[in-house]
């Protein structure tokens, strides 16, 4: 073989082309990438014995001789065929609220119609340096689904449901046609991303909320044709709350399709954050208060009464505030029930009816207390990966090591509840 060319040798057993030296004796880029992967992920002693193309285990089944988390991550990075799920303590781990990094170069500049691709900014609002840290950037930025699944394997996650990052602010777009184009582009991108392994990656759609009729059509396309499994509803849409009858055709379509709605905050310019001068204060303020507004709207506005088969999740705001707010809403409603004619029961009864779900932060000390209020079947584990404030790769460990919850409750929070919310079985099938 001529110097500077590449061929396939024993590396092919790992699904990788072997890099050969070039004329200067330096390894080509592929070789450098391989060395980087191996240096970044520690090999266990017996990892070599696992380098063979066979299934590692089926979801929900015991896995004799399964690889370690780091070994599983390495296998994904190296492209070894076969399943690399990592059952943690016999539990099937499901991330109920993960994210894809839908940055312009990765998503919108490729998937948008030509007339929109030249925009300097695709979404409105002030730009904060969310990832800044004294010793380097915070968070992760997986460039491919394979990189994401490698990180999932290292964390110990078997299945992840993916929400957007940039498009968390889709509700702030004021141009209806442009919003429709953004939603279609994002949903196409997300569908392609999840096709890398539909048993491990599931996408949650966005729709053009300014046009409910078009939004219902896009949701049907996203679910029926693209394989997405839920609807994200932004908590902040200027001038309307999430239960405004204007949006009811969207909820009706979600109910018809049997997919859940995830209310998701953006953590940005909502609730008059300009009272603050830094991102720490803005981010601390926005998530939980926005979800409180969503809960008020959903309950008082009659979503649970009007759509009695619809499952609604309140995502990425923690759960510790929920008991306080249940009690607070009950007290307020008792004094003025006529202001909420579509609310036929106490607000707390809707939040414990089995169709309201709340994501939790693994480190929240109040989780057992929240379980006592909303029940153990309606709290979801959420990693928030790959965002700057995620505790990756320790979020699963954070929940598993706790001694204030029974293993049964941990198994529900870490997997079973999310599968019920999204109406899927282990392995991502219906």
pLDDT in tens, 387-424: 666 566 788 999 999 999 999 999 999 999 999 999 99
- Cα(14)–Cα(25) distance, integer angstroms: 24
- Cα(192)–Cα(77) distance, integer angstroms: 19
Q: Does position 2 have pLDDT exceeding 80, yes or no?
A: no
Q: Does position 42 have pLDDT exceeding 60, yes or no?
A: no
Q: Does position 337 have pLDDT exceeding 70, yes or no?
A: yes
User: What are the helix (H) ranges across 159-241?
Assistant: 176-194, 212-224
Answer yes or no: are the C-beta atoms of 59 and 158 closer than 8 Å: yes
Mean pLDDT of the chain: 80
- Cα(188)–Cα(226) distance, integer angstroms: 7
Give the confidence band of 136 by pLDDT, cuts at 50, 70, 90.
very low
Task: Specify the range with the lowest mean pLDDT, choosing from 9-13, 61-65, 198-202.
Answer: 9-13
Q: Enumerate residues 6+ apart whose C-beta is below 8 A from 114.
A: none
Q: Does position 34 have pLDDT exceeding 80, yes or no?
A: no
* 5 φ/ψ angles, rounded to the nearest 5 degrees: -105, 175
3-state secondary structure of 62: coil
pLDDT computed for residue 403 by the predictor: 95
Q: Does position 96 have pLDDT exceeding 80, yes or no?
A: yes
Going by their DSSP bridges, the two strands 379-381 and 356-360 should be labelled as parallel
Q: Does position 272 have pLDDT exceeding 70, yes or no?
A: no
User: Domains in the chain, ordered, with CATH?
Assistant: 30-87 (no CATH), 94-422 (3.20.20.140)
pLDDT computed for residue 79 by the predictor: 56
* 385 φ/ψ angles, rounded to the nearest 5 degrees: -60, 140
Bridge partners of residue 261, in order along the sequence: 231, 312
Q: Does position 100 have pLDDT exceeding 50, yes or no?
A: yes
Give the confidence band of 1 by pLDDT, cuts at 50, 70, 90.
very low
pLDDT computed for residue 31 by the predictor: 41
pLDDT mean over 167-184:
94
Task: Specify the range with the lowest mean pLDDT, choosing from 128-142, 242-256, 271-285, 366-380.
Answer: 128-142
pLDDT computed for residue 86 by the predictor: 57
3-state secondary structure of 155: helix
pLDDT computed for residue 124 by the predictor: 63
Task: Check residue 416 and report its DSSP letter.
Answer: I
Length of the chain (residues): 430
Answer yes or no: are the C-beta atoms of 397 and 414 closer than 8 Å: no
Task: Specify the range with the lowest mean pLDDT, choosing from 104-118, 131-145, 173-187, 293-307.
Answer: 131-145
- Cα(418)–Cα(58) distance, integer angstroms: 18
Task: State how far the alpha carbon of 11 is from the alpha carbons of 67, 79, 122, 143, in Å.
Answer: 20, 11, 43, 24
Q: Does position 44 have pLDDT exceeding 80, yes or no?
A: no
State what percent of residues in the chain have pLDDT above 70.
71
pLDDT computed for residue 265 by the predictor: 84
Q: Enumerate residues 6+ apart whose C-beta is below 8 A from 191.
A: 203, 222, 226, 227, 228
- The pTM of the full predicted model, rounded to 2 decimals, is 0.79
């Amino acid at each position: 073989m001529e110097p500077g060319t590449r061929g396939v040798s024993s590396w092919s057993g790992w699904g990788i082309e072997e890099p050969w030296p070039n004329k200067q004796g330096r390894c080509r880029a592929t070789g450098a990438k391989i060395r980087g992967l191996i240096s970044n992920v520690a090999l266990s002693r017996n990892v070599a014995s696992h380098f063979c193309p066979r299934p590692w285990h089926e979801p929900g089944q015991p896995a004799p001789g399964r690889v370690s988390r780091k070994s599983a991550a390495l296998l994904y990075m190296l492209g070894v065929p076969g399943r690399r799920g990592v059952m943690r303590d016999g539990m099937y781990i499901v991330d109920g609220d993960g994210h894809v990094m839908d940055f312009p170069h990765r998503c919108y500049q490729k998937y948008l119609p030509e007339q929109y691709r030249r925009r300097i900014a695709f979404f409105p609002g002030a730009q904060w340096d969310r990832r800044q840290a004294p010793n380097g950037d915070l968070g992760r930025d997986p460039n491919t689904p394979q990189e994401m699944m490698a990180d999932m394997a290292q964390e110990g996650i078997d299945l992840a449901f993916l929400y957007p990052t940039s498009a968390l602010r889709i509700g702030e777009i004021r141009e209806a046609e442009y919003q429709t184009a953004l939603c279609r582009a994002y949903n196409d991108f997300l569908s392609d991303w999840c096709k890398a392994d539909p048993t491990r990656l599931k996408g949650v759609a966005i729709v053009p909320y300014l046009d409910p009729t078009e939004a219902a059509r896009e949701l049907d396309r996203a679910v029926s044709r693209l394989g997405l499994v839920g609807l994200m509803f932004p908590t902040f849409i200027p001038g309307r709350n999430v239960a405004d009858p204007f949006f009811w055709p969207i909820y009706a379509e979600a109910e018809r399709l049997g997919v859940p709605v995830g209310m998701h905050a953006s953590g940005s310019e909502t609730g008059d954050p300009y009272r603050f001068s830094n991102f720490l204060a803005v981010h601390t303020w926005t998530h939980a208060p926005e979800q409180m507004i969503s809960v008020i709207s959903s309950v008082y506005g009659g979503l649970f009464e009007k759509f009695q088969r619809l499952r609604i999740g309140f995502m990425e705001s923690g759960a510790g505030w929920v008991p306080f707010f249940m009690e607070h809403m009950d007290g307020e409603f008792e004094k003025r029930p006529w202001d909420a004619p579509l609310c036929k029961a106490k607000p707390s009864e809707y939040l414990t009816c089995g169709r309201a779900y709340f994501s939790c932060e693994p480190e929240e000390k109040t989780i057992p207390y929240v379980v006592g209020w909303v029940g153990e079947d309606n709290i979801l584990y959420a990693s928030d990966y790959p965002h700057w404030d995620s505790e990756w790769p320790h979020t699963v460990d954070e929940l598993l090591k706790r001694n204030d919850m029974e293993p049964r409750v941990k198994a529900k929070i870490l997997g079973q509840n999310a599968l019920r919310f999204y109406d899927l079985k282990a392995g991502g099938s219906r």
